[in-house]
Structure 1
Amino acid sequence: MSDVQFARIETPSHGALSLEYRWIHPERASAPLLVFLHEGLGSVAMWKDWPQQLCDAGGYRGLVYSRNGYGRSTPRPHDEKWPVDFMHRQAREVLPAFLDAVGVGPEQADRVWLVGHSDGGSISLLFCAAFPDRIAGAVVLAPHLFVEDVSIESIARTKTVYETTDLRSKLGRYHDDVDSAFWGWNDIWLNPAFRDWNVVGAVAAITKPLLAIQGENDEYGTMAQMDSIAAHVPHAKVVKLPDCGHSPHRDAPAPLGEAIVAFIAAHAQRRAASAA
C-alpha cells in the first residue's frame, strides 16, 4: 500500500477539511476501483491489511480514506456533536467532494465500487441513492438502515468499556485524536433523538448493483437490516454469514472476499454481454 496522502476539501456543513487517504495499486488505471468506507470507530489504519488482500484477490485498484473526525483526518472539535443527519452529510457533501479532490470523477463511474462497513455501509447506501451516475455499484457490510435496541445496548456497553479499560489506548493507535473519534460516534448513537433515524426510504431508490452482507452473530444489528434491504431493493444480493459478528472482514475474510469478487465479476460479465 502506498504512503498516506491528504486531500483538502470544503463542505457546507464542515467547512475546510483535510482527509487522509491511501491508494492501493494506483497503476491499475483500467481496473475496478474499490472505495473503502470505514465503520464508526474506524480509519485508514484500522482496516489493516484487508483492503490490500481484497484488491490483490480481485485485481482491483483501491482507495481507502478516513472521514473527518477519524484517523489522521481533521478531528471533530470536542465541543461539537454530530447531528442526527451526520451520515447524510457524509454521503452528500464529504464523499463527493473527496472523490473530486483525488481525481475520481463521474467519467470513471463504470469502474467505481463503494465498499462500506457499518456506518460506512450506511453512508455508501445513501451515496448510491443520491449519486447513481457516479458508481458502478456497492458492497455494504453490516450497514444500518434504522436503529435497533441491540445497537443501542452494544454501543452503551462500549462506552463503559472505553471509560474503564484500556480500549482508549488501543484505539489511540489508529486515531490522532481518539476522543474525537470515540465520542463523536458514541454520543450521536446514544442521543435519544437518533432513535428515529431511518434511511429505508432513501435506500429504496437504489438502482445500481448492490451486495449486502452481514454476520448472523452481529452484536450491533439483527438480520432485520438485511431483510429490509431485500424488501426495498429487490435486485440486491443479500448474504448472511454464519459464525460471523459485526466485522465480516475480520471474522470471515475468506467467504467475504469470495462473495465480493464473484459479485463484481458477474456484474462485469453482464455489462460485457449487454454491450455485445
Structure 2
Amino acid sequence: MNITEFEIPVSDPRLPDQEGRVFAKSWQSADCKAELAPIVLIHESLGSVAQWRNFPELLAEQTKRQVIAYDRLGFGQSSALNQPLDLDFVIDEAKTTFTTLVQALNIQKFVVAGHSVGGGMAVAVAEKFPSQCLAVITMSAQSQVEQITLDGIREAKQLFAEPKMLAKLAKYHGDKAQWVLDAWTETWLDPKFATWNLDAYLARIQSPILVIHGEHDQYATLAQPRRFIHLAQVEKQLEVLPNCGHFPHQEQTQQVLVAIEKFLQQMQ
C-alpha cells in the first residue's frame, strides 16, 4: 500500500492571516487501477483524516482506486479558523476547501464520499461539479434537521463537559478541540439552523448516489436516507444496515466496503 501525506496551501478569509494549509492523505494499493477515478472522503462533524482509522486503506484495496481524505479547515492537522462556522457551512465546503483540493491535485474526475455531515457536503460537491463527480456515496448523512439529531447533540455536549472527553478529542485536533466541538454543537443547535436542508441540491445532482445508513443511527431516523432517495432524480441505491448505528464504516466495515464496490462497478 502506497500511503502519502501532503499539505495544500489555501487562501480563505476565515483564516487568521487568510493563508493556511489543508492536510491530506492518499492511499493506493499495489494493484490500483490508474484509469479509475479516485474516491475523495469528507469527514464528519468531530472527524479528521486520522479518525477514518483504517477505512481508507481497506477501501483502496477493495475498489482498486486511489482514496484521498483531507482535514477540513479547523480540523485535524489543517489550519485553525478564527471564527465560528457559518450556517451555510455544508454548502460552502464544496465551494471552498474541496475546490482548492481538486484543483491543487489536478483531479479531473472523482467519486465523493462523506460520513454524517460530510455526506451532506458530498451532495453539495456533486451539485457543484456535475461533470467531474461520477458518483456520490453518503454514510449516515442528514438532509434536514431532526429532533433526534438535536437531542443527540445536546447529550454529547453534556458528555464533552468532562475534561477527559475533550482530551480525547484533542488527540486528533490539538488546541482546536474546543472549536471543533463548538462548531458541531453550537451550529446545529442554533435556532437559525433549524430550517436548513439539502432539498434543492439533492434535486439538482446528476451523479448516481449510494445512500448507506445504520438502522439504529443515534443521530438520524430512517426518514433521512429515504429523503435522499426520494429527492434525488438520478440512479440511486439505498443500503440500510441492521444492527448498525451512526458509524457504519466502523461498525459494519465489510458490508460497507462490498456495497461501495458493487455500486462503483455498476458505474464503470
TM-score class normalised by the smaller sequence: over 0.9
Q: Which amino acid aligns with 1:2?
A: I
Equivalent-residue separation in structure 1 for 2:26 and 2:155 (angstroms): 35
Structure 2, gaps ≥5 residues long: none
Structure 1, gaps ≥5 residues long: 269-276
Residue 102 (structure 1) shift: 2.1
- Which stretch of the first structure deviates more once superposed, 194-203 or 22-31? 22-31
1:25 is the counterpart of 2:23: no
Equivalent-residue separation in structure 1 for 2:92 and 2:44 (angstroms): 16
Residue 229 (structure 1) shift: 1.3
Of 130, 134, 137 in structure 2, the residue corresponding to residue 136 of structure 1 is 134
1:154-211, CA deviations, whole angstroms, 9 ceiling, x for partnerless residues? 0111111000252211111111221121111221011111111111121111111110
1:215-258, CA deviations, whole angstroms, 9 ceiling, x for partnerless residues? 01000111111111121114211111110101110111111111
Structure 1 equivalent of residue 164 of structure 2: 166
Equivalent-residue separation in structure 1 for 2:4 and 2:64 (angstroms): 20
Residue 59 (structure 1) shift: 1.0
Cα distance change, pair 73–26 in 1 and its aligned pair in 2 (3 A): farther
Residue 93 (structure 1) shift: 2.1
Equivalent-residue separation in structure 1 for 2:20 and 2:118 (angstroms): 18
1:64 is the counterpart of 2:64: no
Counterpart secondary structure, 2:141 = coil
Residue 12 (structure 1) shift: 5.6
The percentage of aligned residue pairs carrying the same residue is 26
Does the 8 Å CA contact 2:142/2:225 hold for their aligned counterparts? no
1:250 is the counterpart of 2:264: no
Does the 8 Å CA contact 2:213/2:246 hold for their aligned counterparts? yes
Does the 8 Å CA contact 1:66/1:72 hold for their aligned counterparts? yes
Q: Which amino acid aligns with 2:158?
A: T
Equivalent-residue separation in structure 1 for 2:74 and 2:250 (angstroms): 23
Structure 2 equivalent of residue 199 of structure 1: 198
Structure 1 equivalent of residue 264 of structure 2: 264
Q: Which amino acid aligns with 2:90?
A: M
Q: Which amino acid aligns with 2:27?
A: I
Q: Taking structure 2 as the reference length, what is the TM-score of the superposition?
A: 0.93
Mapping of 1:1-276 within 5 angstroms? 2-11=3-12, 15-25=18-28, 28=32, 29-77=34-82, 80-104=83-107, 108-109=108-109, 112-164=110-162, 166-176=164-174, 177-234=176-233, 235-268=235-268
Residue 35 (structure 1) shift: 0.4
Q: Taking structure 1 as the reference length, what is the TM-score of the superposition?
A: 0.90
Does the 8 Å CA contact 2:124/2:201 hold for their aligned counterparts? yes
Q: Which amino acid aligns with 2:88?
A: D
Cα distance change, pair 12–169 in 1 and its aligned pair in 2 (3 A): closer
